[in-house]
A and B are shown apart, each in its own frame.
Chain A
């Protein structure tokens, strides 16, 4: 649910710079939100809510300041609102956990791009069946259990396969990072 019910017809178009910054920070914003919720699926909804607010406040953003920091503050508020709204029906991470994780994410964020490149290479190294399974899992915006249904495999076996593949991707990423000059 968008947290504002502002009539979109009244929105004034944002500047090109704003659109560009907005687009470029979407992924990182998503990761930040993702780290704070026990249900990964909720991250999409929160991102959407945050985007509605970010967009509606485009006039408040001052060119030249740190867009991501500004957007992340809005996102943090949206995470909070989401948690309040779902205080009963969702598990929640503790405040301490969220703080710790967000700080660490920030700390490690300079590595994200390298890690993503490594991931791209590692995906090519997967056995083709494994790659297909991973693609099926993520391409459809799906979840393990739906993948299991569509493959006609028991859910647990699909969970196991996905876990094995994700762990091997992580190991591969770590290996790749070690072998790049920056980390030697």
Chain B
């Protein structure tokens, strides 16, 4: 260990390519050559194996790296890692579920089933087995079959940006405070058609998209998958529009409904109910401000603003304008919560996030250097930035401040400063710049309210980019893939996969007055959205997970976000929609769960990256804790209690458990395996066979809830 061991450049490149699975045949030959002829190279290879493997195994020692120190130095008998992260790792909480051997057997059964089912489904598109949802990526992520573990869940790649859902709340807020407009009206001119006009013929839009997609299928020689079953579709649309799985009752109702328009009606019900507004509030609040704990009350205020906007289905350009132009404190004006979180550091975060989230433009990189293929220049970043430079954050006594309870609050204040703003260019020279957006300049004088001007420019949407960006994001959320990849990097350097579809939807969305519900209705009514996720022989080449542009000839499989997992588990436990909860109650529950989960990940500053740090894996760790334990605990009022106490056969119980968790019937193989398990349980305890069977049924539910299928949206 005494020699300096810095890998030579070539070796380092090869080792890096190995880590990222990018070795080609020539790389591999060269790597072997180096490693076999040079002792240092061999050492470096082993060091990389150890580094990459350890990071993977401990999932980069998520959270608190210090506490992850191993407690033993005996390598031979290394203790399990303290911080457990993915389904592949030892899971301490699993032990509590191993109440009797049946659980072990069930777990093993599901695990092997997982492997077989996954393979079979991937190969032939056969019926799904438990845990057999075809993962969007490859068949690589099967958990090791360690029967002492819970049936682990395959990790599917995150879809779109890793948006975690923060489930939210609307705690004792009155309508007035969330719609307050201290600024007076903003010049939002809904272009073309006012929102109150009768909607354009929906069939036209949907039929046009169907036609365009069908043309692309034909051009690419693929045949679309068959239409998804009612159950598959209902689970999908529930997760997509309300962030949760359907209840057992909703599923029965939907399947028994003979109305030919039942899918369209269901979409309408979901959009007009509170669930959609709540869910989209979570989605957007997370993207806009992340979940920084420091400014929780500002985030909550922003959520209240968004909730009001989505509930009333306010035009999207109005929402954006209010976010951009907001003044005052978050308490006065929830929309202020957005910029209060991002005005630090010369408003660079505000500029970058506005561009990325609301305009689908990646400007972060052009901030300091010329981007090789992004048409945005460094100067354009700073001309957009100049709109935000007039604004300061001040502190003042809160309007809720009282004698016993003095509080200060942060306030967005526009100052009367005009003239140029400055930035340092790549050569270190200070440059002066003036506000400019999409070739529109404004009066740079002190009297101009720059953010108001920007809000107007955005809302007027001269080139439709704000609408296009929103359409792309919504499509990506519903289909797992947007028209561009990444979804927020649009522009000539990154042409969309279906330019006509994107353009048609964008123009219709603008014409509808930025009607969010209408957009959702259009997209969820397309033929593509009705299709099964199952790969067929005719569309095996449509494999966006392999990196090809998606053709949408089948529904890509999406992974549930942590928020969806939580809400879905609540539905599976209590059998009622999350939208029926009082806001306070729902907020307390969710924040208690999601909160402890995110403490693990939260590091310091920066609202922008804190919106990324989430992944499903951590959710699963938590999920294997008390949450699932609660779901299989037959307390009065729970789904499991109903199923155990109803006068039905055990087969019917298994069927209902499967439907409650996965919205499908058990496969014949599952049924026969579970019958054997129940039979063994009954035989094993002659004193109280009913109790033994009930325990085994709880294990069945546990296995279904822990299957990879539960955390995927097909």
Chain A residues engaging chain B, CB cutoff 8 angstroms: 1-2, 5, 8-9, 11, 13, 19, 21-28, 30-31, 34-35, 38-45, 47-52, 55, 68, 91, 93-94, 96-97, 100-101, 104-105, 108-110, 112-117, 119-121, 123-124, 128-129, 131-132, 134-146, 148-153, 157, 159, 162-163, 166-167, 169-171, 173-174, 177-178, 183
Contacts and interface: CB of A to CB of B under 8 A. Distances in A.
Given A2-B115, A13-B101, A167 B88 contact: no
Contacts of A50: 144
A152 B489 contact: yes
Given A44-B143, A132-B609, A142-B157, 9 more contacts: A2-B116, A48-B144, A115-B51, A134-B55, A139-B615, A140-B616, A149-B157, A152-B161, A157-B365
17 contacts: A21-B77, A28-B78, A35-B45, A38-B18, A44-B88, A45-B139, A100-B36, A101-B35, A115-B47, A132-B613, A138-B55, A138-B60, A141-B88, A148-B486, A163-B13, A173-B47, A183-B1
The 3 closest A-B pairs by CB, nearest first: A140-B615, A8-B108, A48-B144
A128 B616 CA distance: 21
A38 B143 CA distance: 20
Given A1-B119, A134-B60, A169 B51 contact: yes
Contact of B21 (A25, A40, A151, A174): A40
A51 B144 contact: yes
Given A31-B50, A124-B66, A140 B20 contact: no
A128 B547 CA distance: 30
B368 to A, nearest CB: 13
B178 interface: no
B146 A44 contact: no
B622 interface: no
B147 A8 contact: yes
B594 interface: no
Contact of B53 (A31, A136, A139, A170): A31
A136 B356 CA distance: 19
Interface string B63-102: 0011011101111111111000110101000000000010
Contacts of A150: 158, 160-162, 486, 612
Nearest to B85: A139
A19 B609 contact: no
Given A24-B80, A109-B75, A152-B161, A137 B86 contact: no
Contacts of B162: 136, 140, 150
B69 A27 contact: no
Given A145-B20, A169-B51, A128 B42 contact: no
A144 B365 CA distance: 18
Given A48-B142, A163-B16, A146 B613 contact: no
A157 B52 CA distance: 19
Contact of A30 (B6, B12, B53, B72): B53
Interface of B: 1, 5-7, 12-13, 16, 18-25, 28, 32, 35-36, 42-43, 45-62, 65-66, 68-70, 72-81, 85-86, 88, 90, 101, 104-105, 108-109, 111-112, 115-116, 119, 138-148, 155, 157-158, 160-162, 356, 362, 365, 485-489, 547, 601, 603-606, 609, 612-613, 615-618, 673, 676-677
B143 A48 contact: yes
A114 B489 CA distance: 43
A39 B52 CA distance: 12
A129 to B, nearest CB: 7
B4 to A, nearest CB: 8
A38 B23 contact: yes
Contact of A152 (B76, B147, B487, B616): B487
Contacts of B62: 135, 139
Contacts of A120: 61, 65-66, 68-69
A148 B110 CA distance: 33
A73 B637 CA distance: 52
A113 B36 CA distance: 25
A143 B59 contact: no
A59 B317 CA distance: 67
Contact of B617 (A94, A115, A141, A173): A141
Contacts of B55: 119, 134, 137-138
A172 B80 CA distance: 24
A128 B22 CA distance: 27
Contacts of A28: 75, 78
A55 B62 CA distance: 29
Contact of B56 (A40, A131, A148): A40
Nearest to B64: A124
The residue in B20, B25, B62 that gathers the most chain A C-beta atoms within 10 A of its C-beta is B20
B583 to A, nearest CB: 30
